[in-house]
Each structure stands twice: as C-alpha cells, then as structure tokens.
Amino acid sequence: MLSQYTYANKLINIVKEHNLTQLTLLGTITWLARRSESTINLTYALEFIVYITLKYVVQHNLDQHSDYYPIATILQLQVTKQEITKQRA
C-alpha cells in the first residue's frame, strides 16, 4: 500500500503535467464529522472548463445526510447548430 505522501505527489504531478486549475477555493469546508471539518473534495479542471465555470459552491440544500457536503458546479455551455448538407439520392 502506498503512503499518503506518495498519492499526494502523484496528484501534484498529474496537476502539473496537465496544467490543471483547482476549482475548490482555499478554505472551502467539504467535510464535517466528529466536531472536525476539512476540505476533502478537491476539484481540478482544464483551463477552458475554468473559463466556462459560472458557479462552484458547497450546496447545503442538496445534503443527503452524509458527512461530505455536496458541491454544485454550473457551467456556461453553448450549443452550436450544425448545418445539414443535403445529399443526392
């Protein structure tokens, strides 16, 4: 079994290799249990996803009685209409 530091280093290497940006803001509490709280859920995204992210927040009203808080992510997506070219029969 690998140590937590090995896993952390793997994550850091992946983030650097793919130039990912962390969406989870510093200090965001995503876990609460036994009178402790922490940021457990980290979310990373490519730059173009960061650019279209409208909202990324802990959404308490979606709570399902877990010790993890749900996170809402809203992206601004644009649908492009595809032109249909007529084909000969």
By the 8 A CB rule, do 52 and 23 touch? no
Tell me how far apart the 2 most distant CA atoms of the chain are, in Å: 71
pTM for the full model?
A: 0.66
pLDDT tens-digit series, residues 14-49: 999 999 998 888 888 877 778 877 777 788 899 998
pLDDT at 76: 93
Name the nearest CA neighbour of 55 among 35, 32, 72, 78: 72
Q: CA quadruple 40, 45, 49, 50: dihedral positive or negative?
A: positive
Q: CA quadruple 79, 43, 50, 12: dihedral positive or negative?
A: negative
* 61 Cα distance to chain centroid: 18
pLDDT at 89: 66
- State residue 21 phi and psi, 5-degree precision: -115, 140
Maximum mean pLDDT: which of 11-15, 58-62, 64-68, 78-82: 11-15
Burial of 18 (0-12, 13-18, 19+ CB in 10 A): exposed
